[in-house]
Every structure is written in C-alpha cells, then in structure tokens.
Chains A and B, each alone.
Chain A
Amino acid sequence: MGARFLMAAALATVCLLQAQSKSPAKAAEEKPKLGDNSAGSRGQPAHIIPLRDPEGDTIQPGDRHSLPFSVSQTCGGECHDVAAVSRGWHFNPMASVDNGAGVPAGRNGQPWLLVDRETATQIPLSYRAWAGTYRPQQVGMTEREFAIHFGGRTAGGFGPEAHDSETDRARWLVSGTLEVNCLVCHDASPAYDPAEYANQVARENFRYAPAAASGLALVTGSAKQMPDLFDYLLPNSVEDSLQAQIPKVEYAPANFLPSGKVAFDIVRQPKTSQCYYCHTNTDVAFTGAGRFKGHEDIHSVRGIGCNECHRHGLDHMVARGYEGGASSALTCEGCHAEGNAMGAPHPDHEGIPPVHFARMTCTACHSGPLPEQSTRQFKNGMTHGLGEFNVNKAQGALPHLYYPVFARNEEGKLAPNRLVWPAFWGRLENGTVRPLHPDQVKSALAKGKLAAPLTADGNWLNVDEHWVEQVLRILDEDGPSAYIAGGKLHRLDGGKLRAEDNAQAQPYLWPIAHDVRPATQALGAKGCQDCHSTEAAIFFGKVSVDSPLASERQVSWTMNRFEKNLDTGYQSRLAASWRYRGMLKAIGLGAAAILLLVLLAYAVRAIDRLSAATVGRNV
C-alpha cells in the first residue's frame, strides 16, 4: 500500500512538474507577437522602430563600424513572426520539393528562366513540381547559385542548406543569407529601390541588400570579391588589394529620429506598383516608344489593387485566385457571383449558351490580349529584369515569351496561356534528356572553338543546324547528348543531325490571369463569330515557334494543337454553318408566328362558340 502510494505520488509530482514546465513555453509559443495581433484598427500603425543588426543589437547613427540592419531582426524581433511569414508562397518554393514540407505546387505558374546566350540556352526552372520545368539541381545549379542568379527578383528566403558543399557553406558566411525581405512589398517609401536590391544581390551582398535598397544606408563593396575566409565582423582582415571592395554600410544620420529610431513607411497592403516590379507582364509592342499604347487590367483601372483579391493572413499564403485553388471565394466566380460580398458586378452573359461556362475559363474571354492570327511576344519583370539597372530594352532580348495560347487546363476547360519554348543541351539517359549546366556546354564550345559571336540586341545567336551538329559531336564524346529547341529534340544519328518530336521539347505553358478585359472588350463582344468562324484565332491561330535555328522559326503550330480532344472538324463545320444562322432565326420566327396565329385564331373561335353556347346559339 505504502509503495503504491509513493509511486502514485511520485508520478503525480512528475506530471505536475512537466505541466508547470510546459505550460508557459507553450503559452509563449502560441501568443502572437505585437504586430501580429491586430486590435482591429483600420489605421496604418506607425513603424518608428530601432534598426537591429544580424546579431540583434540596435544600430545607432553614431556607430563606428556600422553593420547592415537585418530585416528579420528589425521586423521580427518583437513585432512579427517572420518564421510564420517565411512559409508563404513568396518564400517557400524549396519547401514544396526539397524539404518534404508538403507545400502543394498549385497550378503551373511563371517559371524562372535560366538564359545563357552563348550556349543558346533558355530553360524553365522551378522548385515547384510543375510539369515542363526543371528543378535547379537538375541543371546542376545549387541553391546559392540560384540565389545569386534570381535572388534579386525575390523577396528573399535563401540560406545555407544541409547538403551545401564546403565552398557554398563558406560563401554563405561571406555573403550572409538572403533573408526574408519584408521591405520588398511593404516599404512604400519613395526611397526604397528594388533595383538597388537586385544590384546588391548580384554583388553577393546578401546581408546588405535590404539596407541598401531601403535608402537608409549607402552600401559599397562586393562580397563576391571577398575570399572564402572573409568575416564581415572583422572586415579589414583581407589583403590590401581587396580593401576597396570590402562591403561597407554607411547610414545617413538624417534618417534617424532623435530617439535613435527610424520611421519606415510600412504599408499593410502593398501598392500595385510594388507587385508590378516583379509581376509585370508587358507586350513587347508596348515597350519603348510604344509604352503609351499599353492597357491596364480593368480592376486596376477601377482602383482595385492586387491585394484586394490576392489576400492572405500572417502565413502569407497569398490567394492565387484560380478555380480549384485554396481560396475559392477569391476567384473570378467567387467575387462576381450573384450577391457576392465584394460588391463586384454580376455578369448576366445574355445570350451565351451555358456550355461555354462549362468548357471555358473566365479568362478565356476576359484575360490577356484578344487572340490574333499569330501569337504576340511579351516581357516579364522577373525574367527580363524590367526596371533593373542597365536592363536590355531591345524587343528581341531573351528569353522569348509568347501569348496568348489557348490550351485545355487540368479541368479540361479552354484557357489562355503564356508559353516559352525550352532550348537546352542535355545528356540522353534512359530515354530522357538530363539538362546540362551552361558552363559544361561552354567547355565544349571552347574545346571545339565553336563560340559564336553574341548578337547586339540580346537575341539568339546566329547559328544553324551545322553548329548544333558540331557541338553535339563534342558533347557526344562524354555520352550521347541532345539539343532541345523549337519543339524538337536534335541528336546525332549515324553522324547526321536528326530532329524528332519529344515530350521534353514541348513548350511550357502557364495560365494567363491578367490583364482582365471588361465585357465590352471580351472575346465574343463582337458576336459569336469572334470564335465561331473558320479563321477564328482561338482555334486556328498560329503559335510562333521559337528556336535559335532560323529554319525552325519559320514554322508555326496551329492553336488547336494545344487544345486536347478538340474536334477541329466539328469546329470548322460549326463555323461554316454560322452564315446560315440568320436564315435559321428568320425561318424559325416566321414558323412560330404562323403557328401562334393559327392557335390564336381557333382559340378565339372556340371561345366565341363557348360564349354563344351560353345563350343557346350556334356559331
């Protein structure tokens, strides 16, 4: 009895202690941070805060050796749960594949495009599992290389990985991590310069990039030039020849308030122009002198910002807004449904047979440019570096992106898409092509003295099939190789170049969501024959084929090649029958009128007879 009592008492004590030790920690974990727990005010909270360096120490204007402020320390120290934010769409691509974190890939989206003009390479990359894209690792690109190449167009979220090489680990220490940069979207100050951010990333000044972009500090030097053993806390320990390149940060004292704090112009809802820095898609015809011809999305024209629909909570899982996605209330249908909470106009779609809504997305008629006999070319903020310093403004600058291309989506609905034709070299392994890193191809070009002069406008090299044949001959020395371009796989067969169809040579498509056109500019606004004619671009338009090889650029694909299961014969017959539609209406209405008159005439007579019968008369 005594032993049992003692054991029970001991267990109870252990449980009590455990409960006492866990509860406060758990409570602290669940307690939202100051800025994440809204009191409900619609006002914009002032962000008068101290700058904190990567170590968490406060930065003062008079510091002798200033350090760059860290966004995660400055924003996340006491006020915001940056760890929760960093799981959002803008920061989580690697979580979708590498870490097994289970972040769904979602529908196909804008890929990163690795462009290397010397090797005629243009390959879509993504960490998300989008069919038709390649994970950077598949091209031999490390996370660090990816961050250097594309990080300037991201909101950060790159750092050392467990599988990094020794060199990469050392270089991460030199450059710092490219941490989540809240300011990219939320700093509305006119002094914030995203181009400077990209510039600093290119110089591998990862830990300095937010400070430089914020306009609060001047950053000089380049971590790229620093040796592997460089320590940013002891910057002067490098050899004399590199002293001028040491990354340094200098704060403007005028930016500090008397309290030693800094006033950020932080906005809860980013301005559309901030989204546009990365998410601009613009027709090449509307660049340069043609800028004034461009159109805006009707929502923007009406003053509706991106964030009105692309909403999110602290997790920053921004609503992507497509049917079947996570946020059904923030889709076209969600906002424009009858009696919607947004007050968006509900379209009646008078006269449009319901079958159209079952088989086509809203975007098919309302988004992107109206389809023409040939696809158009556009540029993108992320892939063309629009707005960055010294950007190539030539219309032909790579990568070459095309739109609108009508294709069936996963639900089988017809939808407009953007398109890129992959062009890359690779090894043929087990029936598939493993892409080669451009540097590997450059070695082959150097070996065979095959380097072709670059074009002045940033377009494809002026090369032909003979050049491809020669390059493949050298690459084949290390194993069977192939070149994918223009929708074809090129390989040597018996010493001769052979082009053949291949799944990996298919263009990569991703859906067009914007710019949205209003009803008056929608496809079909001019009548059914916008689509139901024998030359309707939506079915019979030409999709330009892009390739470094001029001969392949002469060819085009018909739009319906992308519209799986489309009965083109039926579409042609339906279109041909449209000319008789007026006659059909006239005959039908005439016949209906006669039938109605007959019915009425005898109904009147019948009523007359009934009435006469009531007074005993026959009519």
Chain B
Amino acid sequence: MTYSSAVTTVFVIALAIVAVDLVLRLKFRRERRAGYRPSSLLRWLRLAVNVAGLAALVAAAITGLSPALQKNGEMTGDALITHVTMAPPFAVMAAIVALFWAHRNRFTEGDWNTGYRAAPLRKFFFWLAVAFAVPTLVSILAAMFPLADTEGQADLVRIHRYCGLFLAGSGLLFAYFALMAWREGSED
C-alpha cells in the first residue's frame, strides 16, 4: 500500500465513523443534559485552547498530507519548510490540549452503561491521538540527531509519516466527538 492510498484509507475510515455516528445519533436521540459549567475565564481559555489546537492540527495535517497525496509522500522544498514551520505550534498545542483534556477523558464506569453517547468515543480517540502524537514527534526529532544510519533514518521518517497520519485521523475524530459530546451536554 502506498502512502497516498494509506492517507485516503484513513480519511475514508474517519468519514465512515462520522457517518455511522450520525446515523446512530438520529436513532438514539436524547435530550441535552445540563452539564458542568466552569467559570467564565476557564470557559474562554478552554475554548481558545480547543480552537487553537484544532487549527494547529489541521494546519500540520494539511501541510503534511497534501504533498503526500500529490507526490506519494515525497515532501521537499517549500512544502517541507511550511510543514516544519507548522510543527512547533502544533507540538505546543498538542501538549496543552493533552493537559486540558486528559482528566476529562478518563474512562469511567458510566461510559459503558449509559447508552449510545459521544463521550466514550471522544475519550477513545483522545487517547489514541495522544498515543500517536508521541512517536510522531519523537521519530522526526530523533532523525535530526546523528543517531540512526541511512536505513534507520528512512524508518524514522516512515514512522513519522504513518503515526502522523493516524494522529491526524484520530485527532480529527476526537475533535468531532468532543463537539458531539458538548452538544449532548457531557463534560465528564
């Protein structure tokens, strides 16, 4: 499987998950619950983090994956510079988003016995995204140090590309389910 077809596959699967969720949401429609309301300042801070985090993810994903779709993963020239420029804001926002969301995304007993809700899926994709974010960052940073030989360098870049792809998919699904959970009034 080529990298460009892997990119397509991941996003088709992500869209399929969203489509299935929308169908299930129509079937198991439920009332919006009154959830936890944090203070105004914290609410605005959370919103800022969420918006900035999503923007950074989208920017990193677009700059990283669009050359892949065009040239099957060969990223050079200005596309590479653009992607690398997006990397530090993304890394910072990834860490902040993880800190802001980790506690709320603990799995609880309620996740399994309250019917079909967005929160459990949000939690799942959050932890999946965090799990992929670590090798995505570490692999490409390791490639910047004289650690791996030529084949190792190629492997590190491959790890970065595939983990980055899964990070983009799971990150966007996390964002989607976070939005759905917010609509449901779920804050836990």
Complexed CA–CA distance, A592 and B132 (Å)? 11
The answer to whether B130 touches A595 (Cβ under 8 A) is: yes
Interface residue A589 (Cβ < 8 Å from any Cβ of B)? yes
Which residues on B sit within 8 Å (CB–CB) of A583? 88
Which residues on B sit within 8 Å (CB–CB) of A590? 91, 95
Given A357-B150, A584-B88, A606-B107: A351 and B144 within 8 A (CB)? Answer: yes
The answer to whether B77 touches A350 (Cβ under 8 A) is: no
Which residues on B sit within 8 Å (CB–CB) of A588? 87-88, 91, 137, 140-141
Which residues on B sit within 8 Å (CB–CB) of A353? 143, 153, 157
The answer to whether A587 touches B92 (Cβ under 8 A) is: yes
Interface residue A64 (Cβ < 8 Å from any Cβ of B)? no
Q: Which of these, A567, A581, A585, A591, contacts B94 with CB under 8 Å? A: A591
The answer to whether A592 touches B141 (Cβ under 8 A) is: yes
What number of B residues sit within 8 Å (CB to CB) of A?
38
Q: Which of these, A570, A573, A595, A605, contacts B137 with CB under 8 Å? A: A595
Which residues on B sit within 8 Å (CB–CB) of A581? 144
CB distance from A356 to the nearest CB of B (A): 9
Complexed CA–CA distance, A355 and B76 (Å)? 9
Interface residue A596 (Cβ < 8 Å from any Cβ of B)? yes
Given A355-B76, A567-B77, A585-B144: A595 and B87 within 8 A (CB)? Answer: no
The answer to whether A584 touches B84 (Cβ under 8 A) is: yes
Which residues on B sit within 8 Å (CB–CB) of A599? 127, 130-131, 134
Given A596-B134, A598-B98, A599-B131: A351 and B84 within 8 A (CB)? Answer: no
Which residues on A sit within 8 Å (CB–CB) of B130? 595, 598-599
Which residues on A sit within 8 Å (CB–CB) of B107? 606
Interface residues of A in 572-612 (CB under 8 A from B): 573-574, 577, 581, 583-585, 587-592, 594-596, 598-599, 601-602, 605-606
Complexed CA–CA distance, A320 and B87 (Å)? 45
Which residues on B sit within 8 Å (CB–CB) of A598? 98-99, 102, 130
Interface residue A349 (Cβ < 8 Å from any Cβ of B)? yes
Interface residue A354 (Cβ < 8 Å from any Cβ of B)? yes
Complexed CA–CA distance, A165 and B144 (Å)? 67
The answer to whether B87 touches A352 (Cβ under 8 A) is: no
The answer to whether B91 touches A349 (Cβ under 8 A) is: no
CB distance from A563 to the nearest CB of B (A): 15
Complexed CA–CA distance, A349 and B146 (Å)? 8
- What mask results when residues 125 to 147 of chain B are scored 1 for a CB within 8 Å of chain A, else 0? 00100110110011011011111
CB distance from B144 to the nearest CB of A (A): 6
The answer to whether A570 touches B78 (Cβ under 8 A) is: yes
Complexed CA–CA distance, A349 and B150 (Å)? 6
Complexed CA–CA distance, A583 and B88 (Å)? 9
Complexed CA–CA distance, A590 and B95 (Å)? 9
Q: Which of these, A351, A573, A587, contacts B143 with CB under 8 Å? A: A351
The answer to whether A350 touches B141 (Cβ under 8 A) is: no
Interface residue A240 (Cβ < 8 Å from any Cβ of B)? no
Q: Which of these, A354, A570, A587, A602, contacts B91 with CB under 8 Å? A: A587
The answer to whether B84 touches A577 (Cβ under 8 A) is: yes
Interface residue A348 (Cβ < 8 Å from any Cβ of B)? yes
CB distance from B67 to the nearest CB of A (A): 13
- Which residue in chain A gives the minimum CB-CB distance to B138? A592
- Which residue in chain B gives the minimum CB-CB distance to A573? B81
Which residues on B sit within 8 Å (CB–CB) of A351? 143-148, 153
Interface residue B106 (Cβ < 8 Å from any Cβ of A)? yes
CB distance from A105 to the nearest CB of B (A): 32
Which residue among B94, B137, B145 has the maximum number of chain A CB atoms within 10 Å of its CB?
B137
The answer to whether B157 touches A594 (Cβ under 8 A) is: no
Interface residue B149 (Cβ < 8 Å from any Cβ of A)? yes
Interface residue B154 (Cβ < 8 Å from any Cβ of A)? yes
The answer to whether A352 touches B150 (Cβ under 8 A) is: yes
Complexed CA–CA distance, A350 and B138 (Å)? 16
Complexed CA–CA distance, A606 and B127 (Å)? 12
Complexed CA–CA distance, A294 and B99 (Å)? 60
CB distance from B161 to the nearest CB of A (A): 13
CB distance from A5 to the nearest CB of B (A): 73
CB distance from B166 to the nearest CB of A (A): 14
Complexed CA–CA distance, A349 and B147 (Å)? 9
Which residues on B sit within 8 Å (CB–CB) of A589? 137, 141
Which residues on B sit within 8 Å (CB–CB) of A591? 91-92, 94-95, 137
CB distance from B165 to the nearest CB of A (A): 17
Q: Which of these, B81, B98, B146, B150, contacts A594 with CB under 8 Å? A: B98
Which residues on B sit within 8 Å (CB–CB) of A570? 77-78, 81
The answer to whether B134 touches A595 (Cβ under 8 A) is: yes
Which residues on A sit within 8 Å (CB–CB) of B147? 350-351
Which residues on B sit within 8 Å (CB–CB) of A602? 102, 106, 127
The answer to whether B141 touches A573 (Cβ under 8 A) is: no
Q: Which of these, A352, A585, A601, contacts B141 with CB under 8 Å? A: A585
Complexed CA–CA distance, A574 and B147 (Å)? 22
Q: Which of these, B78, B148, B152, contacts A573 with CB under 8 Å? A: B78
CB distance from B174 to the nearest CB of A (A): 14
Given A350-B149, A354-B150, A599-B131: A577 and B137 within 8 A (CB)? Answer: no
The answer to whether B134 touches A350 (Cβ under 8 A) is: no
Which residues on B sit within 8 Å (CB–CB) of A352? 150, 153
Which residues on B sit within 8 Å (CB–CB) of A584? 84, 87-88, 144
The answer to whether A574 touches B88 (Cβ under 8 A) is: no
- Which residue in chain A gives the minimum CB-CB distance to B75? A355
Interface residues of B in 144-173 (CB under 8 A from A): 144-150, 152-154, 157
- Which residue in chain B gives the minimum CB-CB distance to A606? B107
CB distance from A609 to the nearest CB of B (A): 9
CB distance from A243 to the nearest CB of B (A): 71
Interface residues of B in 77-105 (CB under 8 A from A): 77-78, 81, 84-85, 87-88, 91-92, 94-95, 98-99, 102
* 9 A-B pairs with least C-beta separation: A351-B146, A348-B149, A591-B91, A594-B95, A592-B137, A350-B146, A591-B95, A587-B88, A598-B98
28 A-B residue pairings within 8 Å (CB atoms): A348-B149, A350-B147, A350-B149, A351-B143, A351-B144, A351-B146, A354-B157, A357-B150, A570-B77, A570-B81, A573-B81, A577-B85, A584-B84, A584-B88, A585-B141, A587-B91, A591-B92, A591-B137, A592-B134, A594-B95, A594-B99, A595-B98, A595-B137, A599-B127, A599-B130, A601-B102, A602-B106, A602-B127
- Contacts A587-B92, A594-B99 known; 5 new A-B pairs at CB < 8 A: A353-B157, A573-B81, A584-B87, A589-B141, A599-B127
